Structure 1
Amino acid sequence: MDLDPRTALQAERARATKLSADVERSMQDVSDARDGANTDDEHDPEGATLAWERGSLGAVRDDARRRVEQVDAALGRLDAGTYGRCAVGGEPIPEARLAAVPWAATCVAHS
């Protein structure tokens, strides 16, 4: 792995945390736009669009939050000395997998 695992994990944590915050702001913008819109969703052509956009943003935010949790767990494994070992079978997680997914808790066979 080119990057130290801790450095890679901290960089991913910062990226996911920023994404979550950015999406929260976008969700607020959507809510603010909705406040100024017609509240009759059934007859308002923008109502469905705003609801869909808010739902989509919520999914991105939730994924970013899950990523922060996964990265925090990986940092915990790093501190415990178990980083890089499959949580299911205990075998080493291949370097290529850790390079691609530094927060991976399992080998490919157990994912």
Structure 2
Amino acid sequence: MRLVEGARERLEAERREALRRLAGLTGDFEEVVAASRDTNADDEHDPEGATIAFERSQLATLVLQARRHLAEVEAALDRVAAGTYGTCERCGRPIAPARLEARPAARSCIACASAR
């Protein structure tokens, strides 16, 4: 029970941080997109054009990663609510508390994660 309560608190904190990060990255992405629309940058000939394209691509990747992390955290919170948190989804054995401490959204034990 104590493991689950501690996990819930860590997961809620991670969820808040992921939402904050996602909001910031989304705002940054929208600014880069707006800046690229407002310029006549020719990505092939303008040295700044490649920078804008790179920034847009990099931010898009970071937004995707933040969304995936948020989905993992929310799935872990669902497992807490369902009473299955801390159980490996592949083998059904308990996930080591140290692994859950390091990776609160972990779905599998170390053995199953290593076997992939």
Return the TM-score normalized by structure 1.
0.92
User: Mapping of 1:19-98 within 5 angstroms?
Assistant: 19-98=21-100
* Amino acid across the alignment from 2:28: S
Q: Is the 8 A contact 1:38 1:44 kept in 2?
A: no
Can you list the C-alpha shifts for 1:19-63, whole angstroms capped at 9, x where unaligned?
A: 111001111111122123223221111111111111111111111
Per-residue Cα deviation, 1:60-93 (whole angstroms, up to 9, x for no partner): 1111101111111111111111100100001110
Hey, what's the Cα distance between the residues in 2 that align with 1:93 and 1:84? 5
The counterpart of 2:14, out of the listed 6, 12, 15, is 12
- Gap regions ≥5 residues in structure 1: none
Quick check: 2:41–2:48 contact (8 Å CA) kept in 1?
no
User: Does the 8 Å CA contact 1:71/1:103 hold for their aligned counterparts?
Assistant: yes
| Structure 1 residue matching 2:76: 3-state secondary structure | helix
- Quote the sequence identity (%): 45
Runs of 4+ in structure 1 deviating by more than 6 angstroms, as ranges, are: none
CA distance in 2, matches of 1:109, 1:37: 52
Aligned to 2:32, what secondary structure does the other structure show?
A: helix
Matched-pair contact (CA < 8 Å) for 1:85–1:93: yes
Residue 17 of structure 1 and its aligned partner are, at CA, apart by 1.0
More helix per residue: 2
Aligned pairs, number:
110
Measured on the aligned residues, the alpha-carbon RMSD in Å equals 1.3
Kept in 2: contact 1:93–1:107 (CA 8 A): yes
